Copies of this chain bind each other. A is one copy, B any other.
Amino acid sequence: MTDKKENIIQAALELFASEGYNAVATSKIAKVAGVSEGLIFRHFENKKGLLDAIMQDAEIRISQVFAPILFELDPQKVIQKTLELPFSIEQKEYNFWKLQYKLKWEPEYHNPRKMKPVLDKLEWAFAELGYQNPPLEAELVIYILDSIAIAILREGLQSQLKFKSFLVSKYNS
């Protein structure tokens, strides 16, 4: 990957995340990336192709975030590590996650399969710990974390830190 191609992806990610895909002109992406507009279309088939490339990178980064949970063998720790997920988002990755959540409303890019492995692992953990309804407990945790992640992305980590210990103690059997 050339430097300029990477510049384009970074600029597009930043602009798509803050202003939305449709609201951002390719001319603006080129300007922010310090690149000619034509170069965008040399590297990507079209504007949507650029978005697709960004979202493809996403899959890898997301699976890397989930890995430690999937390899954990202690059910209690599975739950704790999951609960701590949204609080460990790196600031420099905020744009990336903002885009993920914004695109959840576009059916084409909303892919619940991404969460499936974590959901399954959580369900297993709740079952191990003797919870009455592991599938719903697991789904509920995902729901809570989604809302907290969104709040962090919008209002900053500080505003939501209070939930970290609150949740962990709530799920400490």
Tell me the A1-59 residues at the B interface (CB within 8 Å): 20, 22-23
Q: Are A133 and B166 in contact (CB under 8 A)?
A: yes
Contacts of A162 in B (CB 8 A): 136
Which single member of B20, B22, B147 contacts A144 (CB below 8 Å)? B147
Q: Complex Cα distance A144/B148, Å?
A: 10
Closest 8 CB pairs of A and B: A143-B147, A22-B22, A22-B23, A136-B166, A146-B147, A147-B147, A102-B105, A143-B144
**Given A22-B20, A22-B23, A102-B105, also A143-B136 (CB < 8 A):** no
Tell me the A144-173 residues at the B interface (CB within 8 Å): 144, 146-148, 151, 154, 162-163, 166-167
Q: Complex Cα distance A23/B144, Å?
A: 30
Each complex incorporates copies of this chain amounting to: 2
Q: Complex Cα distance A20/B23, Å?
A: 10
Contacts of A147 in B (CB 8 A): 143-144, 146-147
Q: Are B154 and A143 in contact (CB under 8 A)?
A: no
Contacts of A98 in B (CB 8 A): 105
Residue total for A at the interface (Cβ-Cβ under 8 A): 23
Apart from A102-B105, A144-B147, what are 13 other A-B pairs with CB-CB below 8 Å? A20-B22, A20-B105, A22-B22, A98-B105, A101-B105, A110-B154, A133-B166, A136-B163, A140-B144, A143-B144, A143-B148, A143-B151, A144-B144
Distance in Å from the Cβ of A111 to the closest Cβ of chain B? 12
Over the window 121-155 of chain A, the binary record of Cβ atoms lying under 8 Å from chain B Cβ atoms (1 yes, 0 no) is: 00000000000010010011001101110010010
